[in-house]
Chain A
Amino acid sequence: MTTLFASLRIALRALLVNKMRSALTMLGIIIGVGAVIAMIAVGSGAKKRIADQIASMGSNILIVVSGSSTSGGLRVGAGTVPTLTVEDSKAILSEIPGVRSVAPHLSGIAQVIYGNQNWSTVIYGTIPELLEIREWSLNSGRSFIQQDLDGAGKVCILGKTVADNLFGGIDPIGQIVRIKKVPFTVIGVLNPKGQSTWGTDQDDTVFVPLSTAQKRLFGQKFPGMVRVITVQAREPEVMKTVEDQITDLLRQRHRIQPGQDNDFSVRNLTEVASSAEESAKVMSLLLGAIASISLIVGGIGIMNIMLVSVTERTREIGIRIAVGAKGKDILLQFLIESLVLSLVGGILGIGVGIAGTLILSSFTQWPTLFSVQAILLAFLFSGSVGVFFGFYPARKASLLNPIEALRYE
């Protein structure tokens, strides 16, 4: 114990004597640890955002979209001719055992007017299942009832953003808004859901019954058709099967001959959300590469400086061995020195990493997440680099011949 404490003091003193050299030696470790911190922060930030978004979309979701599958095929209702029907959605629910719930919908952009306020937003015609699948709860009021759905009731549920913009502080429930000149009674206001994977405000929306949208808003040209069917599978494991079964079922129902293209496409939203974070992953990998290279370079720097230090202090080592230092005392002394070097570098690196990450995320808007574990990991990492690369010089010092060491000039 006394030896350990004494070794620590000796090490600190030796490092302070060559402040500039010590600082330069630490640089590699500082950059390496900084990159580790940034990498983990960017990576876990992206992961958290994906998780949040998947949660906000609902779990195990497949989206069936009208029109052949093209790269832009997910853009709901943008000029595509609807090819799906409400019957298709009913068939998916009743014929595919892995499906828990379905929600057909039709959407379009329209002005919503209240008094002299107006707000342009996305209007969804759908059934209450869509809100259930997306785990989207009401803040006030009620959801659609069967009567609204069957009778094309002129009722609507507002997203938070729409409610705020049209009504300000007033309670919207029971108020009348106009959409495409049709008066709708507000029956509910949704809880906020925040940004989607694509960065759009999910709360900037209005829901109306599907039948109402079909008959009075967007569906007049294509009666009975819907553009999108949202499907919820029972569990993640059956997603792939359900996806294939939906494709088979719809090809059959739409009488598509073998070899002919589908007039719909099935998308797994979880995958889409993940691909949206590709750039964060690439950045993470890049930072990981910088981290490992810098840590190795930093480690070699430490090894180099420790070898120099052992040579410079050959005589000192000789004196210590002559008066009774054992191999492990010398080994420990130099190991502690390289450990202190790398740990101080590690601490500075953690600071640099946090600062760098904050700057990076303020430029790129990437979500980042710091964790105590990541910081501890980086700290341990720098320590291991110190021990690993410090071992060879320390061992070399501990094996010096005292007579030769004492004679060293």
Chain B
Amino acid sequence: MLNQKIKYSMDPLIQVRDLVKVYHLGEVEVQALLGISLSIERGEFVAIMGASGSGKSTFMNILGFLDRPTRGQYLLDGIEGEHLSRDELAEIRNEKIGFVFQGFNLLNRTSAIENVQLPLIYAQLPSKKRKEMAEKALSAVGLKERSHHHPAQLSGGEQQRVAIARALVNQPSILLADEPTGNLDSKTSGEIMAIFKRLNQEMGITIVMITHEQDIAAYGKRKILFKDGKVVEDHNSAL
């Protein structure tokens, strides 16, 4: 079912058309997204900016198959989530999407390497293979020596690097990061961005990142500006 990658490999990785998301809070309707249309090619590094409440996280949750749009079309790698079950979406997330969150979202009381292995457990890989891949991912973010540290024994920047390793470990098609540096100081933020840049340039990983900071956004090759649920600016410096 999910092996359609080859067939669609010439299409953009992400195709979004007239995406609308409406939340219902009792009687009140909150229009979080008001018709977004855009596409993202393989290997892009996109920074999404915009005021608080402009719909950035809502958009990213839909891109990550964590949420469903109210209307409109979204294709990832040619796959449309609309008619897929909860479990099938979980499978796509597991195979194709890596998440990095502002709050790191690591499991406490669980070592770095075990955190990184988490997606592989649900991919049903044998433990030896899991360990191997997790070690590789931790090396890629420069944290091999911290494999057996628990989150509480790591600095914020290190925790975010573990989270990035976890997002990478399954070799996903896309890395989605919602304010990955929001909880970090500027120096550590720079280190995280350096990792993102390297992953994008050397490994060709597609990255979509939300940020509030201009200098962080500057690491991206394309900047998309959200305002009141719409895209008001889309600037691609790579072109």
A3 x B87 contact (CB < 8 A): no
B122 x A329 contact (CB < 8 A): yes
Task: Annotate A151-173 by CB proximity to B: 1 below 8 A, 0 otherwise.
Answer: 00000000000000000000000
B105 x A17 contact (CB < 8 A): no
Stretch at the interface among A35-43, A214-222, A318-326: A318-326
Residues of A within 8 A of B109 (CB): 13, 17
B75 vs chain A, min Cβ distance (A): 20
Residues of A within 8 A of B126 (CB): 2
Please name the residue on chain B nearest to A315 by beta carbon.
B105
Number of interface residues of A (CB under 8 A): 22
Residues of A within 8 A of B160 (CB): none
CB contact under 8 A between A321 and B127, given known A316-B107, A403-B66: no
CB of A282 within 8 Å of the partner chain: no
Task: Annotate B113-136 by CB proximity to A: 1 below 8 A, 0 otherwise.
Answer: 000001101111111000000000
CB of B61 within 8 Å of the partner chain: yes
B107 x A323 contact (CB < 8 A): no
Task: Annotate B55-98 by CB proximity to A: 1 below 8 A, 0 otherwise.
Answer: 00000010010110000000000000000001100110111000
A325 x B122 contact (CB < 8 A): yes
CB contact under 8 A between A323 and B87, given known A2-B124, A2-B125: no
Q: How many A-B residue pairs have CB under 8 A?
A: 60
Compute how far the CA of A3 lies from the CA of B126 in the bound complex, rounded to whole angstroms: 9
A406 x B122 contact (CB < 8 A): no
CB of B101 within 8 Å of the partner chain: yes
A327 x B87 contact (CB < 8 A): yes
Compute how far the CA of A315 lies from the CA of B109 in the bound complex, rounded to whole angstroms: 14
Compute how far the CA of A2 lies from the CA of B117 in the bound complex, rounded to whole angstroms: 12
Please name the residue on chain B nearest to A9 by beta carbon.
B114
Compute how far the CA of A201 lies from the CA of B178 in the bound complex, rounded to whole angstroms: 86
From B67, B86, B118, B125, A323 is in contact (CB under 8 Å) with B118
Compute how far the CA of A327 lies from the CA of B88 in the bound complex, rounded to whole angstroms: 10
Residues of B within 8 A of A318 (CB): 105
Number of interface residues of B (CB under 8 A): 28
Compute how far the CA of A406 lies from the CA of B102 in the bound complex, rounded to whole angstroms: 11
B119 x A323 contact (CB < 8 A): yes
Residues of B within 8 A of A315 (CB): 105
CB of B222 within 8 Å of the partner chain: no
From A319, A326, A327, B107 is in contact (CB under 8 Å) with A319
Residues of A within 8 A of B64 (CB): 322
A326 x B105 contact (CB < 8 A): no
Residues of B within 8 A of A321 (CB): 90
Task: Annotate A306-342 by CB proximity to B: 1 below 8 A, 0 otherwise.
Answer: 0000000001101111111111110000000000000
Near B by CB (< 8 A), chain A positions 1-41 give 2-3, 6, 13, 17
CB contact under 8 A between A324 and B90, given known A319-B107, A403-B67, A406-B105: yes
Residues of B within 8 A of A2 (CB): 121, 124-127
CB of A390 within 8 Å of the partner chain: no
Residues of B within 8 A of A319 (CB): 105-107, 118
B93 x A323 contact (CB < 8 A): yes
B131 vs chain A, min Cβ distance (A): 12
A324 x B105 contact (CB < 8 A): no
B134 vs chain A, min Cβ distance (A): 13
CB of B166 within 8 Å of the partner chain: yes
Please name the residue on chain A nearest to B127 by beta carbon.
A2
Compute how far the CA of A316 lies from the CA of B110 in the bound complex, rounded to whole angstroms: 11
Residues of B within 8 A of A328 (CB): 87
A196 vs chain B, min Cβ distance (A): 64
CB of A349 within 8 Å of the partner chain: no
A327 x B86 contact (CB < 8 A): yes
B122 x A324 contact (CB < 8 A): yes
CB contact under 8 A between A3 and B105, given known A323-B118, A324-B90, A324-B119: no
Compute how far the CA of A230 lies from the CA of B14 in the bound complex, rounded to whole angstroms: 97
CB of B226 within 8 Å of the partner chain: no
Please name the residue on chain A nearest to B105 by beta carbon.
A319
Compute how far the CA of A406 lies from the CA of B93 in the bound complex, rounded to whole angstroms: 15
Compute how far the CA of A321 lies from the CA of B93 in the bound complex, rounded to whole angstroms: 9
CB of A402 within 8 Å of the partner chain: yes
Task: Annotate A378-404 by CB proximity to B: 1 below 8 A, 0 otherwise.
Answer: 000000000000000000000000110
Near B by CB (< 8 A), chain A positions 61-103 give none
B66 x A323 contact (CB < 8 A): no
B87 x A326 contact (CB < 8 A): yes
Please name the residue on chain B nearest to A7 by beta carbon.
B121
From B67, B99, B119, B121, A3 is in contact (CB under 8 Å) with B121
Residues of A within 8 A of B124 (CB): 2-3
A148 vs chain B, min Cβ distance (A): 85
B111 vs chain A, min Cβ distance (A): 11
A9 vs chain B, min Cβ distance (A): 9
Near B by CB (< 8 A), chain A positions 47-63 give none
Compute how far the CA of A329 lies from the CA of B122 in the bound complex, rounded to whole angstroms: 8
Residues of B within 8 A of A320 (CB): 118, 122
A406 x B127 contact (CB < 8 A): no
A56 vs chain B, min Cβ distance (A): 62
A406 x B101 contact (CB < 8 A): yes
Please name the residue on chain A nearest to B98 by beta carbon.
A323
Residues of A within 8 A of B99 (CB): 322-323
Near A by CB (< 8 A), chain B positions 6-53 give none
Near A by CB (< 8 A), chain B positions 162-203 give 166, 170
A-B contact pairs, 6 of them (CB 8 A): A320-B122, A323-B119, A324-B93, A324-B122, A324-B170, A326-B87
Question: Told that A13-B109, A324-B90 touch, could you supply 16 new A-B pairs with CB distance under 8 A?
Answer: A2-B124, A3-B124, A319-B118, A320-B122, A321-B90, A322-B105, A323-B166, A324-B91, A324-B94, A324-B123, A324-B170, A326-B87, A326-B90, A326-B122, A402-B66, A406-B105
Which 5 residue pairs across A and B have the least CB separation, nearest first?
A324-B94, A324-B122, A326-B87, A323-B119, A326-B90
